[in-house]
Amino acid sequence: MNDFDLESKIRSIRAPKRGDEYWEAFPDQVLAELRTHSPAMVEHRNWTGTCFLLGRIAMACLAVIFCLWQTPLPREFNHLLRKDETQLRQSMRQFERNLDRAMQDEHGLHGLVEDQS
């Protein structure tokens, strides 16, 4: 079979025919599909949804802050906080003093390490 015969055989294949109605409807079908799955529309919808959600979260945060600001702390709670603060300050001062001592007593520290080994 030469190239010409082969090509004419290949060219003899024709796609099955579709009626005029099909060809009339096809462009509208594509456009309808485009409208249904339009990425721009989806993106717009997502963006709107995200904005709405962020707005609600921001409003909720503002409401919580306002409530906390307006509500006075109970007296016992204040007392406990102050007590804890005093203890923390004392511990810090103690720590600083001990650290100074340890640094000044360098030889003693060496001795202690040697004794232990």
Partner 1 sequence: MRDPDEALVRQSQNGDTAAYAELIRTHQRMIHSLAFRMTGSMADAEDLAQETFILAYRQIASYRGDSKFSTWLYRIAINVCLTWRRRETRRTEVTAHWAVETDGRQHQTEEPAGGDMTSRMHEALLKLPAKQRAAIMLTLYDGLNHAEAAEVLNCSETTVSWRIFAARRKLRQLLTMNGISP
Binding site for partner 1 (CB under 8 A): 1, 3, 6-7, 9-18, 23, 26-31, 33-34, 37, 39
The amino acid occupying position 27 is P
Residue with Cβ nearer partner 1 (12 or 71): 12
Least Å distance, CB 46 to partner 1, is: 17
Smallest distance from the beta carbon of 22 to partner 1, in angstroms? 9
Task: Judge contact between 65 and 72, C-beta under 8 A.
Answer: no
User: Is the Cβ of residue 2 or residue 71 nearer to partner 1 in the bound state?
Assistant: 2
- b (16+ CB within 10 A) / e for 79-116: eeeeeeeeeeeeeeeeeeeeeeeeeeeeeeeeeeeeee
- Give min distance, CB of 15 to partner 1, in A: 4
